[in-house]
Amino acid sequence: MTTAPPADDARHDYVLRLFITGHTEKSRRAVRNVTRLCEEHLHGAYDLEVIDVYQQPELAIEHQLVAAPTLFKVLPLPPRKLIGDLSDTGRVLAGLGIRS
Amino acid sequence: MPNEGTDVEVADLRQRLAESEETLRAIYQGEVDALVVRGPNGPQIFTLRGAQEPYRILVERMHEGALTLSTDGLILYSNRHFATLIERPLEQIVGRPLAEFVPVSDVPVLKGLLSDGARWSVRRELTLQSGEALVPTLAAASPLVDEESGAVLLIVTDLTAQKHSEEIAAAEQFARSILEQATDAVLVCNRSGRITHASWAADRLSGQPLTGQVAWHTLPLHIGASELTEGQEPAMSVQALVHEALAGRSVHRLEAGLDQPGRPRQHFLVSAGPLRDRTGEHIGCILTLTDITERKEAEVHQAMLVAELNHRVKNILAVVQSVASQTVASSPSVGQFRTSFEGRLRAISLAHDILTQLRWGQVDLEHLVERSLAPYGGNARVAWSGPTLRLPAQNVVSLAMVLHELSTNAAKYGAFSNGCGRVEIAWRRLDDGMAELTWSEREGPGLSGEPVPGFGNKLISRVMSYDLQGSAKMRYAPEGLGCRLTFRLPNASWIETEHAEAPLAPVGN
């Protein structure tokens, strides 16, 4: 058995948490972008939850959120944060460690 | 190896620094809507665009579900109420297609809402999946102005309570229609015995609207286990019956009588039972009254007929028995007994035939005379006259027997025993409520001396005196037997205006 780092392969399960600010434009865009990205690149091998910080602020503190909208990659490790409406697909993919 | 640990630490620190810088950059460049700050009372969200705040609070607090959807049905935002409506945690709603929460049957409605709602306001009934249950809702869609692809705002109102009310109203209407159509009197009472529904037949029976009144203050029913006669105590009061039913005990088809002023007594079959709601609670009772008045009257009438019939049969048996024993006593031979007895039975039978034909009503004396004398030559040998006289049934048999005896004797020894004899019968009213009938034989063979009382004469005297409260007097005149009969009749028997007459037909020698 080797101890090589796992390949950045789309088939590994991703756990993502998207924090939005209700129905603002940025939030809507963030939702659209993330869902499309997950469909195209992760092919169903993901667990995405979308949390409205106004509705559940305590979850925001739990994840040490500073600003919203923010996308958290919980798994695979290492954890990452991506801030903004996530329109820059390339940056998001890179931040998530996904090869396109 | 120490270097590895340090390398990991450094990499981690670098990452965190990069993220902090990125956060600051995003805030400065306005890519962020809100900041999360740890306050003394918990997390606080600082919104960087304040104008949206009151609207946002309104949407969160409204008692309807609110969604923002992309035109292809992706949920971009959901308020708290919608999550409650479909029984899902908030974080599992946004980012999913709304179709995930709609039963397959209603997906076409959803598609219509999305396509129409992207252009103008539209309202449709939409069913949502809420766990195992289905929730009926009214969904109002309208276009949301968005600088990118179109979006739809959807407001969802729960119709469960309204549908429930509609169901209740329909059930109520259904129950009312049944009550309207019921031919039996039906009363529905609440727990205190107050009438909440009454069928049309019940209102008609009591003569006044029954709804709202206490059940045992309305119809004064005498409830008993069987036929009640006047003055008999009822087995159960209406109040007791209602209490039985309210307590959950059913009572089936007790006979009851209803006496209302100005009306003859009516008879009913009463049934009562508890009324339960969906959980099985007793919420009242139902009483049903089935009208059996006609049936009861028919029963009584039939009992009377049977008693009457019984009485008559006994009478006949007594008469036949008496005739038989007396005929035996006066018949020298078995053959003669048979002839005499058969003849007498035939007279009785004839009388009964007439009575049955006329349904045991009244018989005209003329009709009886005609039928009784028919075997003896009709108009050629017999003439009769007298006023129209209606005989009560009990007199018909007796007179038929008397006429038979007289005819038989005439055939044996008198006017019917030769070729030219004849009989004249006349009857009239006497002063004292009696009737007189005379039987006169002419041109028979000569007779001499007083008649010997054979059984025939004995029977005649007995019948006339006992059965008809009259008398019989026989006289042998040279021209033939004369018989004068008297008998009592009720006054109503006479009809003065008519006169029955049947003169002799011309006789050809």
State which H helix or E strand residue B257 sits in: strand B251-258
Ranges of chain B whose pLDDT falls below 50? 226, 228, 507-509
pLDDT of residue A11: 47
CB contact under 8 A, A51 and B33: no
Q: Which residues on chain A are in Cβ contact (under 8 Å) with B26?
A: 67, 83-84
pLDDT of residue A2: 44
Q: For residues B187 and B272, is the Cβ–Cβ distance under 8 A? A: no
Q: Which of A24, A28, A49 sits opposite B92 (nearest CB)?
A: A49
Q: For residues B380 and B494, is the Cβ–Cβ distance under 8 A? A: no
pLDDT of residue A60: 87
Strand partners of residue B221:
B258
pLDDT of residue B136: 94
Q: Which of A28, A55, A68 sits opposite B90 (nearest CB)?
A: A55
Q: Locate tokens 């169903």: which residue?
A: A44
CB contact under 8 A, B26 and A83: yes
CB contact under 8 A, B42 and A35: no
CA distances from A61 to A18, A28, B230, B256 (A): 14, 22, 90, 79
Question: Which residue ranges form the domains of chain B, and what is each CATH number?
Answer: 13-161 (3.30.450.20), 181-291 (3.30.450.20), 298-501 (3.30.565.10)
* Euclidean distance between the first and the last CA atom of chain A, given in angstroms as a whole number: 28
Rounded Cα distance, B145 and B138, in Å: 22
Q: For residues B254 and B269, is the Cβ–Cβ distance under 8 A? A: yes
pLDDT of residue B79: 92
**Averaged pLDDT in 10-residue chunks for chain A of 100 residues:** 45 84 88 92 89 90 88 89 90 84
CB contact under 8 A, A28 and B44: no
Strand partners of residue B495:
B388
Listing DSSP states for B488-499 in one string gives: E--GGGEEEEEE
Q: Locate tokens 């041109």: which residue?
A: B443
Rounded Cα distance, B334 and B456, in Å: 17
CB contact under 8 A, B23 and A67: yes
pLDDT of residue B25: 86
CA distance B179 to chain A (A): 54
Residues in chain A: 100
Of the candidates B113, B118, B87, the residue with the CA atom closest to the CA atom of residue B101: B87
CB contact under 8 A, A84 and B38: no
State which H helix or E strand residue B135 sits in: strand B133-144
CB pairs A-B closer than 8 Å? 128
pLDDT of residue B451: 58
Listing DSSP states for B314-374 in one string gives: HHHHHHHHHHHHHHHHH-SSHHHHHHHHHHHHHHHHHHHHHHHHTTTS-EEHHHHHHHHHG
Kindly list the residues of chain A whose beta carbon comes within 8 Å of any beta carbon in chain B: 17-18, 20-29, 31-32, 34-35, 48-61, 65-69, 78, 80-81, 83-85
pLDDT of residue B315: 79
Q: Please tell me whether residue B156 adopts helix, strand or coil conformation.
A: strand
Q: Name the residue in chain A with its Cα closest to that of B16.
A: A80
Q: Which of A39, A47, A50 to probe the B interface (max B CBs under 10 A)?
A: A50
Q: What is the dihedral of CA A4, A5, A7, A12, to 10 degrees?
A: 120
pLDDT of residue B52: 67
pLDDT of residue A35: 93
Q: What rounded mean pLDDT belongs to chain A?
A: 84
